[in-house]
């Protein structure tokens, strides 16, 4: 049997749903193909994450069913919503059955929820006397470790720090929602928490924002969108390995409950992209249990460019220290732009965290403008626990069909930029977003992706 790493039989094998004959065939394919073996291990790690987080015994539902149940429990009114984007959707039986099960688990899911806490405006806060913080449960601290896990909401609302933005060096920013000194102090407090807790800070920050009202634009730190960088002047960029997670919650709440687009500074491309577990299907490298995978595809909003998707997946057996650099080849790349990780206006870029938690997943998207028709872009060089890992050569095969995950990532990036008005190419409009959404529609679309198409349709009809 010849299997592709995206073959659904791999997931069925991990869940024990195959016949003995088919399971033996999958195992034989894994012995002959390292990519298939890695896909099996990664599928198993996702099951482990869900098991550790939600239940004490092995789940009985399929992952797609669990996702549908949690989604419906979070917003049960969406059970009646149907996506209008696809031209035809003849078979919705499996989707309806999954949603029907949501009612049975709604009460149990509510037990995980937190009561909302009002967030006063950022500009009105005195950082010398922090506002009433949101306290969240924390793991047992190491002996002598200071308890940092009480995070004021104005600190939690800051986006994850990104690499130095060479397109903004020397620029000044005006119109900040709060004095630069105040924002600088907030950023310093965030960086101190990251230094003490590593990437676990983002998990705590996400909990502190959970179920809170969508903040107003003047409650959010003002962001400065990244511009393109000339490869000849700045051929190297440090890659972030962690992102925040609040933006997709804000976007969904604003559109579905308030029936309006969210505040511009609430729209963070990297957080929307990282809301979904996606796996690029191109060149990959593995070191000490950490997987770095990549895939390049045509850029939907700039025909002359390519969109590069990079994914870091944590090891199954523990945290790792990661450092990674995108190195553009100036002879083949004219310009590039990191999507998202927008710097906060008025403060310098923060130092990037290096701890990638076990089983964590982080996605990074880069827009690349080649010189001429070149499809070779450079390399990603990286290390794990300060030991060099095999680098990855970056290229795009013009005739290769992009994976479904890469296509979905491009839809997310397009939708987020359109919402934020961050269309530097001047090519993204509602018709482009709708067309990409229609291309993604299919009868076997996972529930979370089906829900995004529903959300896009609701946004287009505001």
User: Looking at residues 291-318, what average pLDDT do you find?
Assistant: 95
End-to-end CA distance of the chain: 49
- For residue 310, tell me if it sits in a domain: yes
d(CA 365, CA 416) in angstroms, rounded, equals 12
Distance CA(99)–CA(85), nearest Å, equals 20
Q: Residue 439: is its pLDDT beyond 80?
A: yes
Specify whether the CB–CB gap between 377 and 333 falls below 8 A: yes
Q: State the average pLDDT over residues 324-331.
A: 96
Specify the pLDDT at position 325.
97
The Cα 337–Cα 326 span in angstroms is 11
Residue with tokens 């399929």: 62
Kindly state whether residue 141 falls inside one of the protein's structural domains: yes
pLDDT digits (tens, 9 = 90+) for 330-347: 999 999 999 999 888 777
Same domain for 415 and 337 = yes
| 26 lies in the same domain as 133 | no
Calculate the CA 239 to chain-centre distance. 14
Together in a domain, 25 and 153? no
164 is a domain residue? yes
Q: What is the mean pLDDT of the chain?
A: 76
What does the DSSP 8-state code read for residue 353? P
Mean pLDDT of 62-66: 52
Q: Which pLDDT band, with edges at 50, 70 and 90, does 71 fall under?
A: low
User: CA gyration radius for the chain?
Assistant: 22
pTM value is 0.67
Report whether pLDDT(428) > 70. Answer: yes
Check whether 110 has a pLDDT greater than 90.
no
Domain boundary among 38, 60, 82: 60
In this structure, the answer to whether residues 45 and 138 fall within a common structural domain is: no
pLDDT over 70, % of the chain: 69
Please tell me which residue, 229 or 117, carries the higher pLDDT value. Answer: 229
- How many Å apart are CA 59 and CA 69, to the nearest integer? 13
DSSP, residue by residue, 32-44: H-HHHHHHHHHHH
Q: Is residue 111 part of a domain?
A: no
End position of a domain, from candidates 60, 77, 99: 60
- The mean-pLDDT minimum among 184-193, 304-313, 316-325, 442-451 falls in 184-193
**Is residue 246 domain-resident?**
yes
pLDDT at 37: 80
Mean pLDDT across 444-454 = 92
Separation in Å, CA 210 to CA 52, 108, 123, 189, 341: 20, 17, 22, 20, 21
Domain match, 30 and 172 both: no
The two three-digit tokens of residue 257, written as one number: 């409950």
Q: Are residues 153 and 4 in the same domain?
A: no
Q: What is the dihedral of CA 402, 407, 410, 412, to 10 degrees?
A: -160
Residue 105 lies in a domain: no
Looking at the structure of the chain, the number of domains it has is 2
Residues 21 and 170 in one domain: no
- What is the spatial distance between Cα 268 and Cα 348, in angstroms, rounded to a whole number? 18
How far apart CA 278 and CA 284 sit, in angstroms, is: 14
Name the nearest CA neighbour of 281 among 290, 271, 273, 291: 291
Q: Does residue 2 lie within any of the structural domains?
A: yes
Q: What is the mean pLDDT of residues 336-359?
A: 85
SS (H, E, C) 378-418: EEEEEEECCEECCCEEEECCCCCCCCHHHHHHHHHHHHHHH
Query: 129 with 273, same domain?
Result: yes
In SS3 terms, 56-112 reads as CCCCCCCHHHHHHHHHHHHCHHHHHCCCCCCCCCCCCHHHHHHHHCHHHHHHHHHCC
Domain range holding 266? 122-428
Residue 412 within a domain: yes
Q: Which residue has the higher pLDDT, 316 or 133?
A: 316
Tell whether 1 and 138 lie within a shared domain: no
Residue 170 Ramachandran class (φ > 0 left, ψ -120 to 50 alpha, else beta): left
Predicted pLDDT at 67: 53
Q: Using 50, 70 and 90 to split pLDDT, how confident is the model at 150?
A: low
On whether both 33 and 168 belong to a single domain, the answer is no
Count of all residues that appear for the chain in the document? 462
**Domain stop point among 60, 80, 107:** 60
d(CA 419, CA 179): 26
Residues 288 and 162 in one domain: yes
Output 444 or 1, whichever has higher pLDDT: 444
**Residue 82: pLDDT above 90?**
no
User: Is pLDDT of 416 > 90?
Assistant: yes
9, 148: one domain: no
Q: How confident is the model at residue 90 (pLDDT cuts 50, 70, 90)?
A: very low
Residue 94 pLDDT > 50, yes or no?
Answer: no
Return d(Cα 138, Cα 140) in angstroms, integer: 6
Which 3 state secondary structure label does DSSP give 149? coil
What digits encode the pLDDT tens for the residues 200-236? 777 777 777 777 788 888 888 888 888 999 999 999 9
């Amino acid at each position: 049997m010849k299997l592709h790493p995206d073959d659904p039989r791999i997931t069925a094998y991990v869940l024990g749903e195959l016949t003995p004959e088919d399971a033996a065939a999958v195992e034989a394919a894994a012995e002959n193909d390292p990519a298939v073996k890695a896909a099996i291990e990664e599928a198993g790690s996702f099951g482990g994450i869900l098991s550790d987080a939600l239940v004490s015994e092995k789940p009985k539902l399929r992952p797609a069913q669990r996702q549908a149940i949690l989604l419906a429990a979070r917003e049960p009114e969406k059970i009646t919503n149907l996506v209008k984007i696809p031209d035809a959707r003849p078979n919705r039986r499996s989707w309806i059955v999954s949603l029907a099960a949501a009612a049975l688990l709604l009460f149990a899911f509510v037990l995980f929820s937190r009561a909302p806490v009002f967030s006063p405006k950022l500009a009105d806060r005195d950082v010398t006397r922090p506002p009433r913080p949101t306290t969240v449960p924390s793991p047992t601290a190491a002996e002598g470790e200071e308890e940092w896990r009480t995070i004021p909401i104005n600190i939690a609302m800051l986006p994850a720090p990104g690499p130095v933005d060479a397109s903004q060096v020397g620029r000044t920013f005006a119109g900040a929602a709060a004095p630069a000194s105040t924002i600088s102090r907030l950023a310093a407090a965030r960086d101190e928490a990251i230094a003490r807790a590593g990437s676990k800070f983002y998990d705590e920050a996400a909990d502190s924002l959970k179920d809170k009202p969508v903040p107003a634009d003047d409650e959010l730190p003002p962001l400065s969108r990244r511009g393109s960088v000339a490869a000849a002047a700045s051929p190297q960029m440090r890659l972030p390995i962690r992102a925040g997670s609040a933006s997709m919650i804000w976007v969904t709440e604003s559109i579905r409950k308030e029936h309006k687009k969210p505040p511009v500074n609430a729209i963070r491309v990297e957080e929307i992209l990282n809301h979904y577990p996606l796996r690029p299907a191109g060149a990959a490298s593995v070191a000490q249990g950490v997987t770095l995978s990549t895939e390049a595809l045509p850029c939907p909003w700039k025909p002359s460019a390519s969109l590069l998707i990079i994914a870091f997946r944590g090891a199954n057996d523990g945290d790792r220290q990661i450092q990674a650099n995108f190195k553009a080849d100036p002879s083949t790349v004219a310009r590039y732009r990191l999507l998202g990780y927008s710097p906060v206006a008025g403060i310098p870029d923060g130092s990037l965290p290096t701890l990638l938690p076990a089983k964590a997943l982080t996605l990074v998207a880069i827009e690349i403008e080649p010189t001429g028709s070149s499809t070779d872009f450079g390399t990603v060089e990286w290390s794990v626990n300060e030991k060099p890992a095999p680098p990855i050569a970056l290229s795009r095969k013009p005739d290769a069909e992009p994976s479904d995950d890469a296509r979905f990532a491009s839809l997310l990036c397009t939708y987020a930029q359109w919402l934020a008005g961050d269309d530097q190419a001047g090519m993204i409009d509602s018709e482009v977003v709708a067309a990409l959404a229609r291309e993604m529609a299919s009868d076997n679309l996972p529930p979370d992706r089906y829900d995004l198409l529903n959300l896009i349709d609701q946004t287009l009809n505001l």
